[in-house]
Amino acid sequence: MPTRKSSRPAPAIPAETASGASAEHLAIKLGDRVKQLRTERNWSLESLASASGVSRSMLSQIEREQANPTLVVTLRIAAAFKMSLADLLQSPSASSSVTVIRADDHAYHYKSDAHCRIRTLSPLNLEKDVEFYEVQLESQGELRSAAHFQRTREFLTVQKGQVRVESAGDIETLHPGDSASYRADVPHAVVNIGKGTALLYLVVIYM
């Protein structure tokens, strides 16, 4: 059933809020907030436009504090970030100190194919000295990597399944509950040698 469209123009963000904040202040705060959230997710303006249904040019104007968006537009942006309107309008300094990565946030789905699925569990805006991943390998699936930077190490914990770890010619077999650390500045691999899906947690540390 098509949605009925109202001829009434969509309201803009109120000129005065309960806290007495002006529309100009809200627009500035919203522009900073949208840019911060987009950067954290490593989204381009095109990505946010696609997720929200708000045009790229409008989003650019909002981030540059050149537009006072309507309430409908602001709600669409909040929905794209899977946030409430109140959470979106919070300034970064007033927002929660807890960073949550939702399971269905595709910005954190690093890789997905028939044999391997990798999801990033660490915030995308972290300095690239530590990375945390959830890895699912189907039977006979493998994750092979070229050498990383010198002194890089990986720490692997097996939650489910049986895998083989290869590093610098060394090979170890891991079972559920086992953990291993190994050099990642040489060619290395994790191979599912079990019959079912293997679930792993991988931490990469750049020394």
pLDDT, one tens digit per residue, over 77-100 is 989 998 888 778 775 555 556 778
**For 122-146, what is the mean pLDDT?**
85
pLDDT tens across 155-175, in order?
999 999 999 999 998 999 999
Query: What pLDDT does residue 125 have?
Result: 60
CATH topology of domain 108-205: Jelly Rolls (2.60.120)
Same-fold call for 23-94 versus 108-205: no
Share of the chain above pLDDT 90, in %: 43
- Is a pLDDT exceeding 80 seen at residue 48? yes
- Whether 127 shows a pLDDT value over 70: the answer reads no
| Mean pLDDT, residues 92-115 | 74
Boundaries of every domain in the chain: 23-94, 108-205
Yes or no: say if 32 and 92 are a contact pair by the CB < 8 Å rule: yes
Comparing 125 with 114, the larger pLDDT belongs to: 114
The answer to whether residue 25 scores a pLDDT higher than 60 is no
pTM given for the model = 0.55
Contacts with 91 (C-beta within 8 Å, 6 or more apart), sequence order: 29, 32, 33
The owner of tokens 């002194």 is 151
Q: State the pLDDT at residue 77.
A: 92
| Distance separating alpha carbons of residues 97 and 105, to the nearest angstrom | 19
Structural fold of domain 23-94 = 434 Repressor (Amino-terminal Domain) (1.10.260)
Q: What is the DSSP string of 111-123?
A: EE-SSEEEEE-S-
Instruction: Tell me the pairing of strands 130-137 and 142-145.
Output: unpaired
Res. 132: pLDDT tops 60: yes
**Percent of the chain predicted with pLDDT > 70:** 80
Q: What is the pLDDT of residue 107?
A: 74
**Residues constituting the chain:** 207
